């Protein structure tokens, strides 16, 4: 699976949009981009995934660049409860097995 690079930490003001970047320059054509987050003392929680089109669900939006070498997770109106470590993962479509977690981005939402 391709490697991802994320900033180690970010701050965001409560109520503002949080934009979390991820670089995955070696992504291959059959790899999806997944985002998970981990709130303190809990297991990781699935947020969203996509292949090449932008995706939106009730939690977030995922913007993938046209060349698929990077993506951005957007939390449109961050709340204090969104404070967590966010992980960007790429993995092959239709293949079972492990998720490879990097260090993630520690997002702090401040009042």
Q: How far is the CB of 70 from another protein (least distance, A)?
A: 19
Q: What is the dihedral of CA 91, 32, 69, 82, to 10 degrees?
A: -90
* Residues constituting the chain: 111
Least distance to another protein, CB of residue 94, Å? 5
Binding mask 5-44 for another protein (x = CB under 8 A): ---------------------------x-x-x----xxxx
Interface with another protein includes 103 (CB under 8 A)? Answer: yes
Q: Is 81 helix (H, G, I), strand (E, B) or coil?
A: helix
If one asks whether residue 2 binds another protein (CB under 8 A), the answer comes out as no
Smaller CB separation from another protein, 41 or 53 = 41
Q: In angstroms, rounded to a whole number, what is the distance separating the alpha carbons of residues 38 and 93? A: 23
């Amino acid at each position: 699976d391709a490697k991802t690079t994320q900033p180690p930490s970010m701050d965001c003001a409560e109520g503002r949009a949080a934009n979390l970047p991820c670089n995955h320059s070696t992504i291959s054509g059959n790899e999806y981009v997944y985002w998970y987050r981990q709130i303190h003392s809990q297991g990781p929680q699935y947020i969203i995934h996509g292949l090449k089109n932008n995706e939106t669900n009730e939690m977030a939006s995922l913007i993938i660049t046209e060349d698929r070498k990077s993506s951005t997770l957007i939390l449109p109106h961050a709340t204090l409860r969104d404070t967590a470590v966010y992980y960007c993962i790429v993995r092959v479509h239709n293949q079972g097995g492990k998720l490879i977690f990097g260090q993630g981005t520690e997002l702090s939402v401040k009042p």
